[in-house]
């Protein structure tokens, strides 16, 4: 089974590339973040023509997550159980389902904006709610993984220049501690194996030629429980999909399993 996660930064803008990528890679399950669409705008019909079902948690031009699967979508849960609201709204940042016997979560963790901002405190509350919700869902012998854009670089090695991020979100001790707490619940970071570069970044800002200069961050992550991790045969960042006109600022992260 091939499972991937991809922040598409608007599924409408990325649809031709998304359909071509699914067809060429033979991906079985894709976790999508930043759909930036309403439920009605989501291209379920186009995906169905390729043989994929969709489960979507999206409400408008911001945020939005989805699961796209050709191996089934059972026991779908929209939203983060026990998750916090921001400014009185439960944002569409999580969706989970069982796909071909694997329990899969697609998550889009809040950005945090600035350390002194209310959004940063919201981000930490959201990560704590994710830890609590995942602890129950990941227990047992069923393969489980939570995949997505975590908006946190786990270590200094996961950013191209740590000095430039000092005092900013994505690298603070509290954010990294929240990720560590998630892993401490029995999950492992499925580290992509770099194909060409020493650091397999997953995000490169559109500005300042960040991608050609490989000035990126690894913030798109795959955390699996023991049965999931034991089945991993390969993992990689599809850096080629970040190239060219009309690309997302994130690249897909792909995991191959032998179940």
pLDDT tens sequence across 76-106: 999 999 999 999 999 999 999 999 999 999 9
Structural domains in the chain (count): 1
What CATH number does the domain containing 157 carry?
3.60.10.10
Q: For residue 38, give its domain range.
A: 2-257
In 47-201, DSSP assigns E strands to: 53-57, 65-69, 74-78, 94-99, 102-108, 144-149, 188-189
Q: What is the mean pLDDT of residues 240-246?
A: 95
For residue 171, pLDDT over 70 is answered with yes
The β-bridge partners of 20 are none
Has 75 been labeled as part of a binding site?
no
pLDDT tens sequence across 216-228: 999 999 999 999 9
What is the residue whose two structure tokens read 């200069």? 213
Q: Which position among 52, 108, 122, 223 bears the catalytic label?
A: 108
Task: Assess whether 170 carries a catalytic annotation.
Answer: no
For residue 192, pLDDT over 90 is answered with no
65-79, 148-162, 188-202: which has the minimum mean pLDDT? 188-202
3-state secondary structure of 238: coil
First to last CA, the chain: 7
Q: What pLDDT, on a 0 to 100 scale, did the predictor assign at position 237?
A: 93
Q: Which DSSP string corresponds to 42-77? A: S-HHHHHHTT-EEEEE-BSSS--EEEEESS--EEEE
Has 174 been labeled as part of a binding site?
no
Q: What is the mean pLDDT of residues 37-54?
A: 97
Has 189 been labeled as part of a binding site?
no
Q: What pLDDT, on a 0 to 100 scale, did the predictor assign at position 63?
A: 96
Q: What is the mean pLDDT of residues 1-24?
A: 98
Task: Assess whether 184 carries a catalytic annotation.
Answer: no
Nearest of 56, 95, 44, 51 to residue 70 by alpha carbon: 51
């Amino acid at each position: 089974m091939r499972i991937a996660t991809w922040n598409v930064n608007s599924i409408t803008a990325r649809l031709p590339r998304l359909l071509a990528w699914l067809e060429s890679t033979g991906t079985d399950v894709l976790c999508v973040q930043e759909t930036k669409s309403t439920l009605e705008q989501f291209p379920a019909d186009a995906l169905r023509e390729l043989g994929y079902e969709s489960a979507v948690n999206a409400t408008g031009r911001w945020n939005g997550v989805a699961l796209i699967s050709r191996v089934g979508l059972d026991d779908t849960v929209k939203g983060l159980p026990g998750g916090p609201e921001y400014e009185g709204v439960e944002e569409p940042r999580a969706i989970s389902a069982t796909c071909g016997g694997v329990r899969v979560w697609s998550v889009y963790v809040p950005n945090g904006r600035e350390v002194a901002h209310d959004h940063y405190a919201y981000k930490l509350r959201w990560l704590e709610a994710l830890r609590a919700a995942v602890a129950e869902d990941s227990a047992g012998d069923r393969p489980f993984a939570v995949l997505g854009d975590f908006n946190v670089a786990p270590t200094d090695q996961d950013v191209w220049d740590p000095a430039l991020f000092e005092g900013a979100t994505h690298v603070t001790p509290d954010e990294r501690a929240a990720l560590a707490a998630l892993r401490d619940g029995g999950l492992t970071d499925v580290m992509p194996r770099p194909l060409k570069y020493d650091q397999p970044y997953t995000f490169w800002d559109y500005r300042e030629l960040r991608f050609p200069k490989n000035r990126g961050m690894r913030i798109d992550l795959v955390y699996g429980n023991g049965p999931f991790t034991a089945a991993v045969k390969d993992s990689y960042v599809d850096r080629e999909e970040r190239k060219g006109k009309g690309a997302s600022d994130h690249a897909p992260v792909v995991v191959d399993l032998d179940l």
